[in-house]
Structure formats: C-alpha cells, structure tokens
Structure 1
Amino acid sequence: MNDHHEQREGTALPATLPVTDRTRHRRLREQGSLDRADLEAVLDAGFVCHLGVVVDGGPMVVPTVYGRDDTHLYLHGSVASRSLAADPDAPVCVTVTHIDGLILARSVFEHGVSYRSAMIHGVPRRVTDPEEKLRGLRLLTEHATPGQWDYARRPSRKELAATTLLALSLAEASVKVAVGPPDDGTGPDAALGIWAGNLPLTATWGAPVPDPLLPAGIEPPRHIAGRSGTRQG
C-alpha cells in the first residue's frame, strides 16, 4: 500500500528501465531499449493496449483503451477485475504495438516487420479512491481524444461505480523497436536481382462522421475536426 501511495503522489521513476527476468531482452537485443523516454513514446503514440491475464485458470488477452501519467498506466479492466477478486496479487502483462511497415528482403527468411512495442509487467491495483478514479478516467479520455474531457458530459456517480479502472505501475517494462532495411543486402542473395526494401504503413484520421440522430447545426468541435488528415501514431 505504501508503494502505491508514494507512486500516486508522483514519485519519479528512474530514467533507465530496470532489467528483470521478465524484461530482459533475450532475442534481437539490438532492437531493445532501456530508455524510459522510448517507453513513453510508444505509449503516447497509441491508445489501445492488450491486457494479458489469467481468468478462471486460463489465459485471456483483452484489447482495451488506456491512459498514463508519469508512474502508472490506467486502463479499463472489467475482465481482469474477475481475476483480481480471486487473487489480488495476480500478475498481468500489458502490451502496446505499432506496425510501421514491412521489411521485404530478397529471401523470405529475412522478411520482417518494422514495429515499436512495449510490454509492462506487474500486479494491477483496482482504483477505488473517487478522486484518483476520476483523474485516471480523465487521463484515459484525454489520451485518446485531447480536449474531449472538458467538452463532453463527465461521468456520473452511478457511471463511476459501474466502471472498473486499473492502475498498473510503469516500473517494470521492456521496449523494442525494429527499423531499417533488410539484412541480406551484403550476402549471397544480393545477386538474385530481387527488389528489397521497406513498405511503410501509416494511419491517418478521417473526416468526422456525425451521429445520424444528431440535430442539424451541431458541428464537430475544433479538437475533433482538427484531427482529420493527421497521422495516428
């Protein structure tokens, strides 16, 4: 409890990610990073994570939205809460991955994916304090759509009571980033005369589509309309 309290109060985490048995880079170590800034960059580039948890004795991986502050990841966790009720010390693993393109080599063996990924390990804490819960939901909302918390109606007490929010420390995490050209440009396959290189993949926000039941004359606010045509991630 003291650790949770101290981190909620904003105790800064080390700038370098610690190496543990769960975060040690055993394969493709050159793609790994121990820089916490790289972890934050991966988290800030997206808003959907995958929560891996054991439920009723079996593994389950659930996609959900998230937000963060300097020390914790906040995420919806109704499925995980079932596991936490049975075992409050049950560890979970949260992953965030961005696909930036394909690495197309001269041989199929050397094909790969350009990506940025993060894995966060730990025991999540179910947020029950009303102030922290509201703050966590604001972080989650603003992470996905900056400006929306102050624009839309905020949660009622009944809605807050029906919402499960988890806080997972960012203390134990690993990061990997794969970029660059194929690895076979200087090997025997270079003489095959086969095209090789990268095929980038980007995602952009489209134009806002109004709710069919929206009365005429209500235009999207600037913080939503302004994202049209901008890159996601």
Structure 2
Amino acid sequence: MKRVLEICANSVQSARAAQTGGAQRIELCQNLEQGGITPSHGLIQRVQEALSIPAFVLIRPRPGSFCYDADEQAIMLADITACRNLGCAGVVLGALDAAGQVDVACCQMLMAAAGSMQVTFHRAFDACADQALALETIIALGCHRLLTSGGQPSAVAGQEQLALLVRQAAGRISIMPGAGITPNNIRPLAEYTGATEFHTSAKRQVVSTAAAVPTEFDTTLPVSDATIVAELVAQLHF
C-alpha cells in the first residue's frame, strides 16, 4: 500500500528539509503559529525553483474564522491565479458560511480558479457541526483530499472520527489526518484509521542567528527537520 507524507513547510529551509527527509509533498504556508496563511509570492516562486516534489500552497488570507467577505474572496482568487501561473501542483483551500457549513458558492469559485491544479480542502472542515454532510459536499465540489483532525485538537484524539470519515469516503476522496502527528504515533494512526496520506510539520524550534535581534521580538523559528521527516517516512513503510 502506498502511503504519502505531506509536510507543512513555512520556509524554503523547511521545504528543502521535507524533500531531503523523503516526504512526497509539501503544503507551503506562513504564520504557522496562527494556523497558517498564504505565503508570499516570492516564497512560492523560490520553493518552486528549489524543489522537485510537488508543492501545494495554502490559500487563507488571514487567521481566524473561515467565513470570508467579498474582498477576502477576491484576494483568494488572485492568490490561486498566482499559484497556477507559477506552476504549483496544488492549492489548499476552504470556506464556511455563517451557519458553519461549507460555503459552496465560494468554494466553487475557488475551484474554478484552480483549474487543473489538485485541491485539498483544509481544516475549516473541523469547524463544521455536521461532518458527514460536509464531507459529501466537499466530494461533490471535486476536491481531491480532505485535511482533518476529525474535529479534535489532534489527529490521535480524533482517530475514531477519522476512521469513520475514511469509511464514508470509500475511495471517493483521500482523508488526510493532520495535527499532532509524530514518528511515535503515525503508524498506529495509519493502522487504526485506514488513511494513506498524512500531514505534519515535523518541526523543531531554531534560535535565530541574527547579529542584533531586538529583545522584544521572538528569536525562535519553527523549522521542519529532515531527520524527523525521515523517521515519519520510515514509520509509514510497513
């Protein structure tokens, strides 16, 4: 059985570490501390130049809720177009309505802009009250995979729901567990849920080496670690 590891990378360094460690794909974003937002055009371009594995780009204009107004939707459309023009393999998107269900009209517009790129529906799904209904909506939209923790703070805590989602999907879409996945839990999580794709940042905190960093700023940076990535890959090959 082929299993895929996707690394959530927040920099060129993290993207390179993901590839070196043997990951099959990255999700590129920035501002991981608040759940991630769309990376800069320059970062996307540089990662595209540096990597040979596919890069999926997070399309999220701001932290917070997943209910977007017209201006935010226009920004998302522009970002998707930029990703398509840069030759990205895929985008990661999602939007909810005021009732907390999938915003079909917004997502259809974003999907159309994505064109031939692969599309992952992100963890906005975890905020949906009726996940069974939301999954059917996401499948109908034509998304290729769903990133989710099963509505829990971590994929391990949500593993029962993840297993239910895998069974409901029945091969129509890939259910990709994410949140809190480590080399110690990825194998039992794969065995329990039946999922074949997994998402994690494999990060460690690195202290900035800048010569003069003002003390009021945080000098640590989360960076994906190639050794951790390799350990995750090894655990998936069983």
Computing the radius of gyration from Cα coordinates, the structure with the larger value is: 1
Higher RCO, Cα 8 Å, sep 6+: 1
Higher helix share: 2
TM-score tier (shorter): under 0.3
Q: What is the TM-score when the length of structure 2 is the normalising length?
A: 0.23
Q: What is the TM-score when the length of structure 1 is the normalising length?
A: 0.23
